[in-house]
């Protein structure tokens, strides 16, 4: 067994005859002989030559799956020419990530942001004032609940994924900010307009509600790319 830095690990990606190594929680494993890692690729989503600690938190199995393959050493960091063990997460961050706090807190506002424009459209179609009030309350709830979702997302990004500036993370952060801005503006504009009339379309309110749909869709897609892999990851 031998210690390897992340840079050395990335060279063992299982392609073009190279060895296939992966790391998890500071340990390096040789998956080259596993049929599940043919060509250095697992389930079409995970590539050898990478630290999979973050991916394990979302996988249907834990690190025990690597008991079937050979442990090949430790993953280390090099500082000033000296090998040091890879940094570990703070206990509180590890517990927060293990609870899947971000997926839990993000799913609530996602649902609210989808149904808020639906209720608003139902109001204009039916004229039922109950739908108008429900749309406003749903949007308000989504806006408030989006803050813990964004906060846990930042914690996951910084501690689980090392704060890496990958395109998909940049996109998700930008979309999250845009979502908060649109939702906040929608709440303020709807509140200032008071009770809407089905006979007079309030295009500003409608536009802010409807714009939530593509933003929340793209956010969900970016989250899927992070968890399951994909272009731009």
- pLDDT classification of 150: cutoffs 50, 70, 90: very high
Residue 100 in domain: yes
101 and 179 share one domain: yes
User: Which pLDDT score is estimated for 77?
Assistant: 73
22 and 56 part of one domain: yes
How many domains, the chain? 2
Tell me what the mean pLDDT of segment 145-161 comes to.
Answer: 89
Alpha-carbon gap, residue 28 to 70, rounded angstroms: 9
Per-residue pLDDT band at 228 (split at 50, 70, 90)? low
Burial class (CB in 10 A: 0-12, 13-18, 19+), 48: buried
State how far the Cα of 227 lies from the Cα of 233, in Å rounded to an integer.
9
Give the Cβ contact number of residue 200 at 10 Å.
Answer: 8
Please state, rounded to an integer, the average pLDDT across all residues of the chain: 85
| Cα four-point dihedral sign 64, 74, 77, 229 | negative
Structure tokens of 222? 């970016």
Of 85, 119, 141, the residue at which a domain comes to its end is 85
Stated as kind and residue range, the H or E segment containing 85 is strand 82-85
Quickly state the pLDDT bin for 231 (edges 50, 70, 90): very low
Q: What is the mean pLDDT of residues 117-137?
A: 97
Residue 81 dihedral angles phi and psi, to the nearest 5°: 80, 5
Q: pLDDT: is 208 or 36 the higher one?
A: 208
The CATH number covering residue 15 comes to 3.10.120.10
In the predicted structure, residue 160 carries a pLDDT above the cut 80: no
Query: Residue 64 sits in which domain range?
Result: 4-85
């Amino acid at each position: 067994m031998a210690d390897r830095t992340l840079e050395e690990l990335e060279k063992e990606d299982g392609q073009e005859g190279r060895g296939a190594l992966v790391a998890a929680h500071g340990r390096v494993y040789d998956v080259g002989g596993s049929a599940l890692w043919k060509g250095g690729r697992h389930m079409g989503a995970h590539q050898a030559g990478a630290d999979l600690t973050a991916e394990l938190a979302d996988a249907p199995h834990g690190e025990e799956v690597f008991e079937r393959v050979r442990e090949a050493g430790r993953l280390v960091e090099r500082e000033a020419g000296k090998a040091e063990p890879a940094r570990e997460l703070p206990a509180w961050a590890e517990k927060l990530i293990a609870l899947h706090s971000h997926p839990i807190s993000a799913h609530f506002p996602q649902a609210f942001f989808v149904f808020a424009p639906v209720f608003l459209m139902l109001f204009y179609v039916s004229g039922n004032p109950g739908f108008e009030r429900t749309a406003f309350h749903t949007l308000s709830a989504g806006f408030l609940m989006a803050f813990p979702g964004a906060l846990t997302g930042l914690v996951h990004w910084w501690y689980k994924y090392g704060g890496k500036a990958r395109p998909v993370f940049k996109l998700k952060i930008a979309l999250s900010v845009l979502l908060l801005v649109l939702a906040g503006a929608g709440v303020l504009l709807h509140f200032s307009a008071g009770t809407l009339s089905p006979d007079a379309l309030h295009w500003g309110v409608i536009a802010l509600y409807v714009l939530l749909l593509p933003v929340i869709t793209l956010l969900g897609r970016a989250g899927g790319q992070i968890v399951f892999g994909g272009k731009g990851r």
